[in-house]
Amino acid sequence: SRETITCKAAVAWEAKAPVSIETIEVAPPGPNEVRVKVVATGVCHTDAYTLSGQDSEGVFPVVLGHEGAGVVESIGENVSHVAPGDHVIMAYIPECGHCKFCKSTKTNLCSTIRATQGKGLMPDGTVRFSCKGKKLFHYMGTSTFAEYTVVADISVVKIRDDAPLDKVCLLACGITTGIGAVRKSCKVEAGSSVAVFGLGGVGLSVIQGAKIAGASTIYAVDVNPGKFDIAKQMGATHFVNPKAHSEPIQKVLVGMTDGGFDYTFECIGRTDTMRAALEACHKGWGESCIIGVAGAGQEISTRPFQLVTGRVWRGSAFGGYKSRSELPTLIDEYLKGEVKIDELITKTYPLDKTNDAFDDMHSGKNIRGVVLY
């Protein structure tokens, strides 16, 4: 419709404070925009990172949330690839299809709306949310912590109607990231040895990706041994707690594996474990992929001889998946039982318990919490 919608949202008025459940107004979608009734959204560390005030791009007040799925409520002018009633996932990396990134087969980093998205604005430089007479910023081009959101048309992925939205919302971030890093960014071959540092939603999805790829050994590394059971369920074969060793973890791992791994994945966001992951790679061919997002301004280091002698350092964003053209296949795989999502959902929450979902994530209780609207 062309009406403003009044609905509930979890509003972040300022950094370093809990979100606040408010009644907000959501304006109708402008040209090339889509208004979506959000059905479910995961709660991820990136939301908490922005809420903590450390995110240099963070702006307030804002509607956070970027792991959402829902149903198209209305469309603005010039929108052709979705219609009201379509089921969609909101993607923080859009796919315009014609920028130089979209045209390249080497990357998924569509940059058409990057500048405004990073400032918390719609592509035309304005916002669609307001609350108590104040404008609210958008977040990551998605803002899924609201019953209704407005996003750019290039940020909505049309998905099949029989995909359960309360599950596939998690393909908007962590699960796709982990599986894609294995398949698309590193192209892990059958028979490879793999180590995964950090067993949250991302690391566990690297494990399932590695298993699907036919890796022969999958080492799961975490300082919280409480994660080893689920890591085993996802396909890990060996379990290492760095706290149980006095030597640097890379030295321990290289010793356990006759020289290190074919592939390692950093899924924590710490520069010391990024170094350890690189140095746990096998001489001559080992490749390490940085997935974790380190704090603003931090830098990585290793001895350059590590690279001279054949180790490779790379990174992956959203698993290298091009959102609109490639996510639907992952949904097909989930519905065929080939990709696991349900196992990674620890708990669900109503909208007014969004802060509990943040608390349970911080305490390490949740692999993923999902808020249902």
- CA-wise closest residue to 78 among 5, 6, 29, 15: 29
Among candidate residues 46, 112, 176, 354, the one labeled active-site is: 46
Site residues, ligand NAD (CB under 6 A)? 44-46, 173-174, 177, 197-203, 221-224, 227, 242, 267-270, 273, 291-293, 316-318
| Smallest distance, Zn ion to C-beta of residue 332, A | 23
Distance CA 228, CA 238 (A): 9
Phi, psi angle pair for 318, to nearest 5°: 50, 35
| Smallest distance, ligand NAD to C-beta of residue 289, A | 9
Is residue 211 at the binding interface for ligand DAO, with CB under 6 A as the rule?
no
Among candidate residues 96, 217, 302, 348, the one labeled active-site is: 96
Residue 99 binds which entry of ligand NAD, ligand DAO, Zn ion, none, with Cβ cut-offs from 5 to 8 Å by kind?
A: Zn ion
List the alpha helices (DSSP H) in 109-268: 114-118, 165-168, 174-180, 201-213, 228-234, 249-256
Q: Which residue, 173 or 182, has its beta carbon nearer to ligand NAD?
A: 173
**Binders in 56-115 for ligand DAO, by CB under 6 A:** 66, 93, 109, 111, 114
Residue 289 bears catalytic tag:
no
Residue 96 bears catalytic tag:
yes
Residue 114 binds which entry of Zn ion, ligand NAD, ligand DAO, none, with Cβ cut-offs from 5 to 8 Å by kind?
A: ligand DAO
Is residue 152 at the binding interface for ligand DAO, with CB under 6 A as the rule?
no
Distance CA 265, CA 271 (A): 13
Q: Which residue, 101 or 228, has its beta carbon nearer to ligand DAO?
A: 101
**Binders in 47-106 for Zn ion, by CB under 5 A:** 96, 99, 102
Residue 2 bears catalytic tag:
no
Residue 222 binds which entry of Zn ion, ligand DAO, ligand NAD, none, with Cβ cut-offs from 5 to 8 Å by kind?
A: ligand NAD
Q: What is the DSSP letter of 225?
A: G
Residue 324 bears catalytic tag:
no
- What are the structure tokens assigned to 240, written together? 């290492």
Q: Which residue, 97 or 242, has its beta carbon nearer to ligand NAD?
A: 242
Distance CA 150, CA 72 (A): 10
Among candidate residues 35, 66, 282, 324, the one labeled active-site is: 66
Q: Which residue, 203 or 286, has its beta carbon nearer to ligand NAD?
A: 203
The answer to whether 180 touches 131, Cβ cutoff 8 Å, is no
Residue 354 bears catalytic tag:
no
Distance CA 317, CA 166 (A): 23
Residue 183 bears catalytic tag:
no
In the list 110, 159, 253, 361, the residue contacting Zn ion (rule: CB under 5 A) is 110
Which residue spans within the chain are E strands per DSSP? Answer: 5-12, 20-26, 33-43, 62-63, 67-75, 87-90, 129-131, 134-136, 148-152, 156-159, 193-197, 217-221, 238-240, 263-266, 287-290, 312-315, 345-350, 368-372
Distance CA 71, CA 361 (A): 27
| Smallest distance, ligand DAO to C-beta of residue 296, A | 13
**Binders in 261-320 for ligand DAO, by CB under 6 A:** 293, 317
The answer to whether 339 touches 321, Cβ cutoff 8 Å, is no
Nearby residues of 187 by Cβ (< 8 Å), 6 or more positions away: none
Residue 321 binds which entry of ligand NAD, Zn ion, ligand DAO, none, with Cβ cut-offs from 5 to 8 Å by kind?
A: none
Q: Provide, for the chain, the percentages of residues in helix, strand and coil under a 3-state DSSP scheme, each rounded to the nearest 5.
A: 30, 25, 45
Residue 173 bears catalytic tag:
yes
- What are the structure tokens assigned to 195, written together? 């180590």
| Smallest distance, ligand NAD to C-beta of residue 166, A | 18
Question: What residues line the site for ligand DAO (CB under 6 A)?
Answer: 44, 46, 66, 93, 109, 111, 114, 173, 293, 317
Catalytic residue numbers, as ranges: 44-46, 66-67, 96, 99, 102, 110, 114, 173, 368
Name the residues that contact Zn ion, by CB under 5 A.
Answer: 96, 99, 102, 110, 112
